[in-house]
Amino acid sequence: MKIVAYLGLVLLLVPLQMTIARLVNGALHPDLCLVAVCLIGFWGGWGRGFSLGLCLGFVQDLFSAGGLGINLLTKALAGLLSGYAATTLSTLTPAAIFFPTLALSMFVSVMALISASPQLDGRLLLHSAHTAILPRGLMDGALAFILNWIKLKMEPLAPPDMSKHA
């Protein structure tokens, strides 16, 4: 059942990402796929995060102007790392999810920038850091914060399942 839900996520998120990008005319917007991968990693463990990251990254690469591989790699890594980060956290509070998501988003953005920019230098990296990488990381972190807060509100009494982080 969960596999079907994850497939549904893949089929929904990438088209939604493309439509949002069109609506905002290419302006800065959150990476829904990355946020989903991070949250699944936090909630479901590194195995699920990694697998979903592979699928979402692959489909993103199919429609991206870049070559195949960079999203596949970074999204899978993000899922893996968020799963491992969850094992170090005692409780998955919204604040505890915000900062790892911010860090992962910035990591993914830097990797994508290196891949996408033919002439990357320190000046461009610095410029991108405060015009794109950090703002986008904050957006992703804020979205993960809100979604995790909603999840906690919906199931306030659910006991933590530690076995999934094993």
Confirm or reject binding of residue 22 to other proteins (CB under 8 A). yes
Question: Is 5 among the residues that bind other proteins (CB under 8 A)?
Answer: no
Question: Which x/- pattern over 109-148 shows residues binding other proteins (rule: CB under 8 A)?
Answer: x--xx-xxxxx----x--xx---x---x------------
Least distance CB 69 / other proteins (angstroms)? 4
CB crowding 58-89: b at 16 or more within 10 Å, else e: bbbbeebeeeeebbbbbbbbbbbbbbbbbeee
Sequence-ordered list of residues with C-beta below 8 angstroms from that of 142, at least 6 positions apart, any chain: 30, 98
Q: Does 150 bind other proteins (CB under 8 A)?
A: no
Options 40, 72, 81, 144; binder of other proteins; rule CB under 8 A: 72
Q: Give one word for 119, left, alpha or beta, with left for phi > 0 and alpha for psi -120 to 50.
A: beta
Supply 136's token pair: 């986008």
User: Considering beta carbons, is residue 90 or 163 the nearer one to other proteins?
Assistant: 163
The residue ranges that bind other proteins (CB under 8 A) are: 10-12, 14-19, 21-23, 25-26, 28-29, 31, 33, 46-47, 50, 54, 58-73, 76, 80, 109, 112-113, 115-119, 124, 127-128, 132, 136, 166
